[in-house]
Chain A
Amino acid sequence: MKLTLKIWRQSGPNDKGQIVTYPIDNIEGNMSFLDMMDVLNEELIMKGDDPVAFDHDCREGICGMCSLFINGEAHGPDRAVTTCQLHMRKFSDGETIYIEPWRAKAFPVVKDLVVDRSAFDRVMAAGGFVSVNTSGNTVDANAIPISKINADKAFEAATCIGCGACVASCVNASAMLFVSAKVSQLALLPQGKVEATERVLNMVRTMDEEGFGNCTNTGACAVECPKEISLDNIARMNREYFKAMLTSE
């Protein structure tokens, strides 16, 4: 198929940036969106132009490195996929596709479609862990039974890949879905409960300091999330947060 790509080009953080149009041909339905970007870049390199910078790595939907706001949606029109798993069969011949970076104050543009998501790492460093040292002497893994229901819910929350689609999709550029996924995972498990109070307070404080917006329950994050992280996690985090506010010293 033949497509018209309208791609955000920005040479660096201080450049104003603009949309540039690229026609592209011979795209097949079984190519992934990033295979298509590779084809475009190969053409640009041969022409002596600067290829389009975009983040990607595993190309199987799990590392969370790829991003792209495609026709106004994080990871494009398909549901429950990352851009690397989006296939061109979801587009039709002759279509115009707008490709932009994640846009959020907390995610400054590095170049073109690449943004800096370090803010997520800093939120994690503020409390996204259980404070247990490596020893080989922790209790036996089966010493504390965990109800399958809670273990499964914790797992569902833990499948977040930290891609930032939730932030990019939110009108407030809120990181609530990302933060709540980690808070939920650990709050649901006995191992994480010990530090639950400090964790939620520290992670939420850091989230605010990083410049993410607040949550106004529009739910766009959960719709666009490639791992279908549920809004229930935000409710659970709010509960954890209020509990912590009331009980912390």
Chain B
Amino acid sequence: MSILDSKIPSGALSTKWSSYKDHIRLVNPANKRNIDIIVVGTGLAGGSASAALAELGYNVKAFCFQDSPRRAHSIAAQGGINAAKNYQGDGDSVFRLFYDTVKGGDYRAREANVYRLAEVSASIIDQCVAQGVPFAREYGGLLDNRSFGGSQVSRTFYAKGQTGQQLLLGAYSAMSRQIGKGKIQMYKRHEMLDLVIVDGKARGIIARNLVTGSLERFSAHAVVIASGGYGNVFYLSTNAMGSNVSAAWKIHKKGAFFANPCYTQIHPTCIPVSGDHQSKLTLMSESLRNDGRIWVPKNLEDSKAIREGRMKPTDITDENKDFFLERRYPAFGNLVPRDVASRAAKERCDAGFGVNATGEAVYLDFASAIERYGREKARMNHDGEASMDTIMELGAEVVKAKYGNLFQMYYKIVDQDPYKTPMMIYPAVHYTMGGVWVDYNLMTTITGCYATGEANFSDHGANRLGASALMQGLADGYFVLPYTIADYLADEIRTGKISTELPEFIQAEADVKEGIDRLMNIKGTKSVDYFHKRLGKIIWDKVGMSRDEAGLKWAIDEVQKLRAEFYSDVRIPGTVDSFNPELDKANRVCDFLELGELMAVDALNRTESCGGHFREESQTEEGEAKRNDKDFAYVAAWEYTGKPSEAILHKEQLVFEEIKLVERNYK
């Protein structure tokens, strides 16, 4: 029997959230003024939660490691945000968004959470427009939509290729308003290094001031972890350099279960790796798959000629191109979900059809879209005689208006003009569906400690659909947590200020100090990045796009050895009590070195394939992922015991009342 209680309210799925909200407890305005809440992270999940909680009257202490709350990596999300508005009248509804999300997640998400997410999605758009978020509009002044992978409707709202930026700046401006009022105390350049638990409840954190190096204690009546995902365990990912798992991992070590760590998303359209010195990978938005067609040459000879520079992609005629997604998945074509598209690209490259020097790239081609838009535009200009050059020029303008910044970014990085020659793309780590286990209230297995956004595991199952991360971050922060946290805080109205002089705070600070001193005293011979790169390679090779038993066992062993080596040979320059980015990195890599092992442990346990988790041993004859619902329709929540390989597995059985489990088919 599991000790996990997901606390899903009873009643019909479509009325669970509204009736639950009607009955949970509230905290009256006068009492809210006496309650402190810590929010770690200022991305969409943390920024929206901080703003909304402060608006309600709570005292919020918000933390980010960057120099401003406006910089969190949500800002880099490009393509858009889903919402069940049905503005296009194309048959969308709350149910369809819910259904697409559960199916897209390969039936490994919790129905009640996903339904709630779909339900509040429309309010997100209303709220953001009210804040002044400049979404794309049509000439009539109403909001425009585009479509994204894994759905057959257009429900994605966007602001060119900078949707994440605009939504985050919306949340940041809402935060700024509360910072100005003094309702949010903003701690920038601070990194949480431990959670403080008093009498079984989360009561505060220990954070390091990254400018002075000093350790500081902060107390609160509840702690919210909104620190994002753990994609940087791979070293090379589309995450920001500073993105890390530390806050989530610290609470895991203090008792919060970590769920489904093996569910990582490899995004199909990223700029391929160019060299050894590369520090990060850059995403090209999935929205490009609306208009771009993915292909490799049909003939191995042509691929070889391209790799050797004897041939250009523009030399190949359409008959000799293999539009492999359109070929394999005619119903969804280039808009299949990310896991499916990534594996298909890998399959072609592994078969020798890759198109760049490393053999790890496929084309994303806009020529047919440019021509189609050009013809449309020429018709609107009453220019029936337009030459092909004019048509392509007109078409390029339309494409520029839609994706201008993405094309420019590609040009700056690769030094090739994507209006003239197809983009080269390859899958890269982008998002992590796994994360801290939470119940329906978003509370972790530690009382009073919550996890929201990418940091939790709850809504995307084994694969996230495009434009759903922004939706979840804002749903959690604006519309879910502000309700559910009150139900807990209603018991805290008589608690009063919590002293940071309690022995638990003193002990936690001492433990953190000891850990840092230990790192500084190693004085080894290798830099932090050296270890991080090696870790990344192990995880990418064996816990990446496809996994098998032997590889996973090897990875567990290798990560353990690497961790031991790190603790005996890492070199961190500088001092403890100063601005020391190398020490910051070392603190983060320590946690990645443990998490990496748990990812492999989880992947080894799950012998089925589902979503982003592909086990070689579990595939159909056509090479598609094969789920095993009988044995694996559960959330794997791991309890820390001191060693990741000895973590204890707890299972939350997934119950599907509304959705029938079928093979995911995009054909």
Contact = CB atoms under 8 A, between A and B. Distances in A.
B176 A50 contact: no
Interface string A25-37: 0001011101100
B82 to A, nearest CB: 14
Contacts of B169: 158
Nearest to A121: B68
A177 interface: no
Nearest to B73: A58
Interface residues of A, number: 78
B137 A35 contact: no
Given A62-B75, A78-B412, A45 B123 contact: no
Interface stretch (A147-155, A207-215, A239-247): A147-155
B162 A159 contact: yes
A151 B280 CA distance: 33
Contacts of A35: 277-279
B68 A129 contact: no
Given A57-B66, A130-B173, A148-B138, A62 B162 contact: yes
Interface string A109-132: 011001011101100111011111
Given A124-B172, A141-B126, A28 B275 contact: yes
B75 A134 contact: no
Contacts of A28: 275, 277
A53 B579 contact: yes
A133 B165 CA distance: 20
Most A Cβ at <10 Å: residue of B128, B139, B180, B186: B180
Contacts of A59: 240-241, 279-280, 282
Interface stretch (B140-148, B317-325, B367-375, B552-560): B140-148
Nearest to A138: B130
A130 B141 CA distance: 20
Given A138-B130, A140-B126, A58 B75 contact: yes
Nearest to A186: B132
Taking each of B177, B408, B579, which has the highest tally of chain A beta carbons within 10 Å of its own beta carbon?
B177
A125 B176 contact: yes
A156 to B, nearest CB: 9
Interface in A29-67: 30-32, 34-35, 38-39, 42, 44-46, 48-51, 53, 55-65
Interface in B382-429: 408-409, 412-413, 415
Contacts of A146: 137, 141
Contacts of B279: 32, 34-35, 38, 59
A85 B412 contact: yes
B64 to A, nearest CB: 10
A151 B138 CA distance: 10
A185 B134 contact: yes
22 contacts: A28-B277, A30-B275, A32-B279, A35-B277, A50-B574, A58-B71, A58-B241, A60-B76, A64-B70, A65-B67, A110-B579, A121-B176, A129-B131, A130-B132, A132-B127, A134-B51, A134-B482, A138-B126, A145-B137, A154-B132, A155-B159, A191-B131
B460 interface: no
Interface of A: 12, 28, 30-32, 34-35, 38-39, 42, 44-46, 48-51, 53, 55-65, 78, 80-81, 85, 87, 89, 110-111, 114, 116-118, 120-121, 124-126, 128-136, 138-142, 144-148, 151-152, 154-155, 158-159, 161-162, 185-186, 189, 191-192
Q: Taking each of A80, A133, A152, which has the highest tally of chain B beta carbons within 10 Å of its own beta carbon?
A: A133
Given A125-B180, A159-B165, A60 B280 contact: yes
Which size bracket describes the interface of B in this complex?
Answer: 35 or more
Given A130-B130, A191-B130, A125 B179 contact: yes
B582 interface: yes
A32 B133 CA distance: 31
B517 to A, nearest CB: 19
A110 B188 CA distance: 13
Contacts of B274: 30
Contacts of B120: 136
B71 A65 contact: yes
A80 B241 CA distance: 22
Contact of A81 (B55, B128, B412): B412
B581 interface: yes
Contacts of A60: 76, 238, 280, 282-283, 409
Given A48-B573, A125-B176, A65 B66 contact: yes
Interface of B: 48, 51-52, 55, 66-73, 75-76, 85, 87, 120, 123, 125-143, 159-160, 162, 165-166, 169, 172-174, 176-177, 179-180, 186, 188, 211, 238, 240-242, 274-275, 277-280, 282-283, 408-409, 412-413, 415, 478-479, 482, 527, 529, 571, 573-574, 578-579, 581-582
B571 A45 contact: yes
B234 to A, nearest CB: 15
B175 to A, nearest CB: 9
Q: Which 3 A-B pairs have the closest CB atoms?
A: A145-B141, A125-B180, A129-B173
A136 B277 CA distance: 47
Contacts of B69: 121
Given A55-B67, A118-B68, A138-B127, 17 more contacts: A39-B277, A46-B571, A48-B573, A51-B574, A58-B76, A58-B240, A59-B240, A60-B409, A64-B70, A110-B211, A121-B179, A128-B173, A134-B174, A141-B128, A146-B137, A146-B141, A152-B134
Given A63-B240, A114-B579, A124-B176, A142 B574 contact: no
Nearest to A154: B134
Contact of B71 (A63, A114, A136): A63
A44 B188 CA distance: 28
Contacts of B172: 124
Given A53-B579, A162-B70, A141 B278 contact: no
Nearest to A112: B579
Contacts of A63: 66, 71-73, 75-76, 240
Contact of B130 (A38, A121, A139): A139
